[in-house]
């Protein structure tokens, strides 16, 4: 099991938190998603076939790019 935490500056309200949790949870291999409005960040637990690449790609596609 892998755990990552990303900063996502675009998180601005509860809808953002919900969207991120729903969308990222739908990726095969993702086991947990915790987005936080106050810290503008998301913690994700995942295993194969998910990867940081597929997760970051999805976040970018739904308009919540990860701050590098």
Largest CA distance in the chain: 30
Classify burial at 18, counting beta carbons within 10 Å of its beta carbon; exposed 0-12, middle 13-18, buried 19 or more.
Answer: exposed
- Interface residue with Cu ion among 16, 44, 59, 66 (CB under 5 A) is 16
Regarding 13 and contact with Cu ion (CB under 5 A), the answer is yes
Give the residue with the Cβ less far from Cu ion, 16 or 44.
16
Q: Which is nearer to Cu ion, 14 or 32 (CB)?
A: 14
Of residues 29 and 65, the one with the C-beta less far from Cu ion: 65
Residue 12 interacting with Cu ion (CB under 5 A): yes
Q: Does 1 bind Cu ion (CB under 5 A)?
A: no
Angle at 48 between CA 33 and CA 39, to 5 degrees: 25
Task: Please state the φ and ψ torsions of residue 9, each to the nearest 5 degrees.
Answer: -60, -25
């Amino acid at each position: 099991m892998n755990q990552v935490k990303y900063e996502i500056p675009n998180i601005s309200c509860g809808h953002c938190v919900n969207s991120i949790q729903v969308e990222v949870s739908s990726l095969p291999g993702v086991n947990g998603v915790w987005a936080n409005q106050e810290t503008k960040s998301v913690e994700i637990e995942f295993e194969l076939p998910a990867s940081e690449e597929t997760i970051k790609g999805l976040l970018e596609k739904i308009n919540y790019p990860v701050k590098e």
